[in-house]
């Protein structure tokens, strides 16, 4: 199971725990949710470590090159730009 799948599973687990919380005697559920959130944070940091390191100027140059090729315009969303730069 990859990191993204693990995060997805943990988020679903948190959602389930939250739906089961009662007004009292459920402190352990809150503790468990906090532990799951910590694990998600750790997995996200691992994903970030695996991303290629690129300076902002190199990223800008790639973006300009893609613009010159007509692949993107000035109206590209940041998330879409990140996907294009990974290619």
Quick: pLDDT tens for 24-45.
998 999 999 999 999 999 999 9
Q: Which pLDDT score, from 0 to 100, does residue 57 have?
A: 85
Per-residue confidence at 71, pLDDT binned at 50, 70, 90? low
Residues 33/14, Cβ–Cβ less than 8 Å: yes
Burial per residue of 7-38, b for 16 or more beta-carbon CB atoms within 10 angstroms, e otherwise: beebeeebeebeeeeeeeeeeebeeebeebee
Does pTM top 0.75 for this prediction?
Answer: no
Would the pLDDT of 16 be above 70? yes
Would the pLDDT of 14 be above 80? yes
**Alpha carbon distance 66, 82 (integer Å):** 12
């Amino acid at each position: 199971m990859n990191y993204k799948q693990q995060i997805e599973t943990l988020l679903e687990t948190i959602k389930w725990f939250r739906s089961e919380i009662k007004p009292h005697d459920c402190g352990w559920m809150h503790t468990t949710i906090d532990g799951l959130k910590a694990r998600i944070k750790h997995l996200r940091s691992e994903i970030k470590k695996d991303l290629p390191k690129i300076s902002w100027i190199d990223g800008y140059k790639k973006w300009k090159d893609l613009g010159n090729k007509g692949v993107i315009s000035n109206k590209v969303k940041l998330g879409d730009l990140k996907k294009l730069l990974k290619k």
